[in-house]
Amino acid sequence: MSGYSLTKMIRIDGSMLEGGGSIVRNSIALSALFNTPIELYNIRAKRSKPGLRNQHTYAIKAISEICNAKVEGLRVGSEQVKFYPGKIQSGEFKIDVKTAGSLTLLLQAIIPVAAHAPDPVKLLMKGGTDVPMAPPYDYMHHVYVPIMKQIGVEITLCFGRRGHYPKGGGTLSCDIEPVLRMKPIEYKFDKPQKIKCICGKAHVVQLPKHIADRMISAAIKKLKEHNLEVDVIERDCPEPKYDTHVGPGTGITLWACTNHGTILAGDGLGKRGLLAEKVGETAATNLISQIKSERPIDYHLADQLIIWMAISDFPSVVDTCKITLHTLTNIEIIKQISNAEFTIEGSEGNPGIIYCEPNYIRKSN
């Protein structure tokens, strides 16, 4: 293994806790960050189709290219992979998942690694931007990226076109600047939380524009039932002659800015047979539940912050609307790969506070 870490390999059970693809993505990212070889086994063993799917293989390929890794067992359907990380490098990387596999899930795994390259990293990506079981593009742009800036991670995210299930074909670019020194991740506040504004975006491609208006109207109606006023919800509906999307799709993302400087969010994704009004109502209901919890960090973001807490230069605290099984799984992975110490106040499915004492020391390559 000349040129690769000689550190003892860590074995990670891919069926533990949540048992899904996030174990693959986060384990590989942490392996690269801590320069520690890992073996993943029982990959997605609890799923109806166990083993790696297409999007998981591309996540591993992308991270392996960025950190000059050697990989064994990388193929669709594989239930065991060995990953030997090398030195993280900068540059431009093209990623085409060939399907509607989620680009936002890929970004969540790749960005922490890319941010520790010596120079900027540019990602040119093709796949799904707004697909089920993944953060929509507008969530990444209006929630994830601003919060990353608060903790010292500079990201520029732009999309060319959206990609929906099942055809995909969405395109985006992401520029990540090197992290010189992270800022503290401190999202626990004593003063009461207030909502400063509620905004959003509804998109429709290759379908009638009135679908966007119906999603927006339903969302506003639901929010007003809870005495929540909306500032603006934009419509993203390209003219047919300029609509280059590969397939039809709709969705709406809402976000609420708090007096703490944090951002809560809710979203809904359209599908055949689902009324536009139901999509808008779903997004509003998701946002309302997070606002009513009076916690500064939404549960999706809390899950995404876990890896950053482990590699921070400071102790971290995150007060979140809900502790999810995804979050608990990510914490367990980090505990196996690093020396970070986590303390949790609260239980799965309920609001809680997550504390982390990091011990992030980059090993020499």
Residues annotated catalytic, as ranges: 326
| Residue 319 · residue 353 · CB < 8 Å | yes
The count of residues in the chain is: 365
Phi/psi for 11 (5° steps) reads -100, 130
| 132: CB partners within 8 A, 6+ apart | 165, 269, 271
Alpha helices in the chain (DSSP H): 21-34, 54-66, 103-114, 137-139, 145-150, 210-225, 276-293, 299-310, 325-337
Distance CA 9, CA 92 (A): 29
Sheet strands side by side (includes 316-320):
186-187, 316-320, 352-357, 341-345
Amino acid in the structure at residue 35 = N
Upstream peptide bond of 50 is cis (omega within 30 degrees of 0): no
